Amino acid sequence: MKKTNDENIKQHYLMDSAPGAVTKINGKEYSYFGGTSYYELHKNKEVINSAINALKKYGINSSSSRNSYGTTQLLLDVEREASKFFNCDDAVYLPSGFLSDLAGVHALSSRKMFDVIFIDEISHYSNDYAAKLSGKPIYKFSHMDDVDLEKKMSSNLLPRQQPLIITDGIFPIFGKIAPVKKYLSIIEKFNGILWVDDAHALGILGPNGRGTYEHYGLTSERFYFGGTFSKAFGGFGGIIPGNKKFIDEIKNNQIQNGATPPPSSAAAASLTGLKLVKSKPELRLKLWRNAKRLKTGLRSLGIDVEDTNVPIVAWAMGNKSEMQKIQKELMKKNIVIQYIQYIGSGDEGALRIVVFSSHTPQQIDNLIYELKKII
């Protein structure tokens, strides 16, 4: 939990446009391979116009919580559409994806559905906080290691104690997909449940973009998850789909009712983004194709990256200053990738590349070409 990405702050990189395959930074346009605007919906006209119309109608925000007068039709529409998209009873819309983890794990705890937590050692900060705030005993298991997980459960659970496994669906730096299918078979043996932070997988993985559980073809009442509209969907705010009892628990708790809900402009953008992702499966296919092109190119340079549909890759090479040099050299060629120090990046940090559905093959090939010259 000690690392923050302070380098970018020190260097004063300021984004001067909406994020997209071409993004303005410090007043200059770059071929941009950072952030999480996987379908470039943050600058999509329909998304922006829906947000403008909502802003004009509802103002900046409702200045009132959901249990008072703060509920607008748009918030209800987001929740209804999300429950349809994820094929769940209901959904709850929250001010951030970070809060999704806090609210989700808190609700499972309030419903007394677990006694002990087993969390991936590099699960996202929000999952880490969620685990700590629950006040339950916490055991960390080795990253994506189902064998270590089972061993830790066997040796630490007391008779009749129920475990909760916490993990990210897609890990944000290296883009690895957690082996949740294996976790589910373990959790069944111990009569427990699973919480997945699916911030990077929603809209991305699975034939319908429903995320990690759809990617593995799973259906299980033991599987709980949440995510964000701020990445693939081009909107803003957190989302938790699920069964009625679980969602009711969140809707009635203080995280939901002690805070101003997301502004209606954010709700309108999220709703439009969700509908676009649903109605345009070709976006996902294009993204997966671009992910493949990027990864094939990187492998041709000897960089070891996994062959999955995930549009995120990262690797470490040399030390921190060598990696920062690579990032800066690419910037001179008008290409932005990220040097990042973040949870799971290792002490020296890593170089991270994210590809969007809107990148052209030429942009990807040019990145590989310039990277090859540098390294």
- Residues lying near ligand PLP in the complex (CB under 6 A) are found at 96-98, 124, 126, 168, 172, 197, 199-200, 228, 230, 238
In the chain, the amino acid numbered 275 is K
C-beta closer to ligand PLP: residue 163 or 237: 237
Alpha helix segments (H runs only) across the chain: 6-11, 45-58, 73-85, 97-110, 125-134, 146-156, 180-189, 212-215, 244-251, 254-257, 264-279, 281-300, 320-332, 361-374
We find the least distance from the C-beta atom of residue 36 to ligand PLP, in angstroms, to be: 7
Beta carbons of 290 and 359 less than 8 angstroms apart: yes
d(CA 272, CA 269): 5
C-beta closer to ligand PLP: residue 200 or 215: 200
We find the least distance from the C-beta atom of residue 183 to ligand PLP, in angstroms, to be: 17
We find the least distance from the C-beta atom of residue 126 to ligand PLP, in angstroms, to be: 5
We find the least distance from the C-beta atom of residue 226 to ligand PLP, in angstroms, to be: 9
CB count in 10 Å sphere of residue 347: 10
Angle of helix 45-58 relative to helix 264-279, nearest 10 degrees, comes to 150
We find the least distance from the C-beta atom of residue 209 to ligand PLP, in angstroms, to be: 17
C-beta closer to ligand PLP: residue 192 or 237: 237
Any idea of the CA torsion for 184, 188, 190, 194, to the nearest 10 degrees? 40
Which residue's C-beta sits nearest to ligand PLP? Answer: 97
C-beta closer to ligand PLP: residue 264 or 363: 264
C-beta closer to ligand PLP: residue 157 or 170: 170
